[in-house]
């Protein structure tokens, strides 16, 4: 599977939803659940089907300004690819 393009609009896949409490958010999917913390949570909270991959990257680059922008793009792309393979994210 290919990484998302800048115009892709990542979102939770059909059958997946947020669960848990505000402090302990999880993604519920047909095969189980994933507890999200830190950067992973920040990425998926932005995957609302409205924002593009480019907008998500731009926002996180501003938030983590000291980090290499290309590393941010590559890491987030790889993260979303892994979630797409598990059928948790569509784009």
6 located within any domain: no
Q: How far apart are CA 51 and CA 80, in angstroms?
A: 14
- Whether 5 is covered by a domain: the verdict is no
Q: Is the dihedral of CA 86, 19, 36, 72 positive or negative?
A: positive
66 in a structural domain: yes
| Structural domain boundaries enclosing 47 | 12-85
Beta-carbon contacts of 90 under 8 Å, excluding residues fewer than 6 positions away, are 10, 11, 12, 13, 14, 84
Domain harbouring 18, CATH code: 1.10.10.1150
Q: Evaluate whether residue 38 is within a structural domain.
A: yes
Phi, psi angle pair for 11, to nearest 5°: -155, 165
Q: What is the pTM of this model?
A: 0.88
Per-residue pLDDT of the chain (91 residues; tens, 9 = 90+): 788 999 999 999 999 999 999 888 999 999 899 998 889 999 999 999 999 999 999 999 898 888 888 888 999 999 999 999 999 999 9
Q: Specify the number of domains making up the chain.
A: 1
């Amino acid at each position: 599977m290919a990484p998302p393009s800048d115009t892709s609009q990542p979102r939770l896949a059909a059958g997946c939803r947020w669960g848990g409490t505000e402090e302990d958010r999880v993604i519920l999917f047909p095969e189980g659940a994933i507890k999200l913390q830190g950067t992973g949570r920040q990425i998926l909270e932005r995957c609302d089907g409205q924002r593009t991959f480019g907008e998500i990257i731009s926002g996180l680059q501003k938030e983590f300004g000291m980090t290499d922008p290309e590393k941010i793009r590559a890491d987030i792309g790889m993260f979303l690819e892994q979630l797409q393979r598990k059928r948790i994210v569509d784009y």
